Amino acid sequence: MADLGIPQNTIAVLKKYQFHFQKKFGQNFLIDTHVLDKIIASAEITKDDYVLEIGPGIGTMTQCLCEHAKFVTAVEIDKNLIPILQDTLGNYGNVEIVHSDILKVDINKLVEEKNEGKPVKIVANLPYYITTPIIMELFERHVPIKSVTVMVQKEVAARMQAGPGTKDYGALSLAVKYYAKPLMVANVPPNCFMPRPKVASAVIRLTCHETPPVRVKDEALLFRLIRASFNQRRKTLANGLSHDPELRMAKEVVQKVIKDAGFPASVRGEMLTLEEFADLSDRFSDAVRQSF
Ligand code: SAM
């Protein structure tokens, strides 16, 4: 039975293995059964689901996932946690522990092998410093995903849901909007973890769209434009795009496209909606094609 959400049981496991927390892996283990229940309930895990857990730690959430899902793959980077996981998950026959950096795992292949390529549910209490790269990687690689239910730093949850013209709005907000529908599940204070993190956390569920809300001619270009627009937030959109080394577009072309799209020369990227970025992206696609 899942029992690691109770602090004494977590302490007992850590003592048994003389485990030392590694700051570089962002290790803050959950010790609150209410939060665990909320994560499982909001991820809507059923016995039909194949679940990928990123960063299982000592297996606290993994135990709960095993009890609700058909099969769980848990990917953990810290080799010292592998024997612990083999112990804490020893009673479950529906889990595979993978010792790896999640960024080095071919998740498409994993989902193909374990779930015949059908969409997977992802659950994670992520180390804060790699939250954004992991989420972007999952989206951009077009891993078949039903939903991603993640514990993130509270500020990151705010960025994921932010709209144009707000301080939190940026490339992550637009990527989330393009790929998924965000839902705030819970605010989680530092005392729900061991050791306590310095920042507040939140659980957010991203339910992936079957088709994106906007269609563009070149998806890679759309995201290059978005990134370039927010790399230098204080610059006008025209300056940000024409100085971007990846885009390599002449300033006159950039200025003309922005004008033709109906924006003033002073417009900044932070004012544009996803639909407006999509329109700009298609205009740039056409402009580039015409220049050849
Ligand atoms: N899920 C556990 C829990 O809720 O108690 C642990 C959460 S802890 C915040 C993050 C976990 O992710 C740690 O176990 C850490 O070692 C692991 N981790 C860090 N970077 C990783 C990476 N790149 N790939 C896989 N696991 C990683």
Q: What confidence tens digit (pLDDT) does each residue in 34-88 have?
A: 999 999 999 999 999 999 999 999 999 999 999 999 999 999 999 999 999 999 9
Q: What is the pLDDT of residue 206?
A: 97
Q: What is the pLDDT of residue 291?
A: 62
Average pLDDT estimate for 21-38: 96
26 within ligand 1 shell (Cβ under 6 A): yes
Average pLDDT estimate for 126-149: 90
Ligand 1 atom closest to the CA of 75, numbered from 1: 25
The rounded mean pLDDT for the chain is 94
HEC string of the chain?
CCCCCCHHHHHHHHHHCCCCCCHHHCCCEECCHHHHHHHHHHHCCCCCCEEEEECCCCCHHHHHHHHHCCEEEEEECCHHHHHHHHHHCCCCCCEEEEECCHHHCCHHHHHHHHHCCCCEEEEEECCHHHHHHHHHHHHHCCCCEEEEEEEEEHHHHHHHHCCCCCCCCCHHHHHHHHHEEEEEEEEECHHHEECCCCCCEEEEEEEECCCCCCCCCCHHHHHHHHHHHHHCCCCCHHHHHHCCCCCCCCHHHHHHHHHHCCCCCCCCHHHCCHHHHHHHHHHHHHHHHHCC
How many Å lie between the centroid of ligand 1 and the Cα of residue 58?
Answer: 9
* Per-residue pLDDT at 99 exceeds 80: yes
Q: What is the pLDDT of residue 1?
A: 82
149 within ligand 1 shell (Cβ under 6 A): no
Ligand 1 atom closest to the CA of 134, numbered from 1: 23
* Per-residue pLDDT at 292 exceeds 60: no
* Per-residue pLDDT at 287 exceeds 80: yes
27 within ligand 1 shell (Cβ under 6 A): yes
76 within ligand 1 shell (Cβ under 6 A): yes
Q: Which residue did the predictor score with more confidence, 73 or 288?
A: 73
pLDDT confidence band for 225 (50 / 70 / 90): very high
pLDDT confidence band for 250 (50 / 70 / 90): confident
Q: Which residue did the predictor score with more confidence, 181 or 250?
A: 181
103 within ligand 1 shell (Cβ under 6 A): yes
54 within ligand 1 shell (Cβ under 6 A): yes
Q: What is the pLDDT of residue 2?
A: 85
Q: Which residue did the predictor score with more confidence, 288 or 100?
A: 100
Q: Whose CA is nearest to atom 11 of ligand 1?
A: 55
Ligand 1 atom closest to the CA of 57, numbered from 1: 14
Average pLDDT estimate for 157-179: 96
pLDDT confidence band for 231 (50 / 70 / 90): confident
Q: What is the pLDDT of residue 245?
A: 87
Q: What is the pLDDT of residue 226?
A: 94
78 within ligand 1 shell (Cβ under 6 A): yes
How many Å lie between the centroid of ligand 1 and the Cα of residue 50?
Answer: 19
Which of 56-60, 129-133, 188-192 has the weakest average pLDDT? 129-133
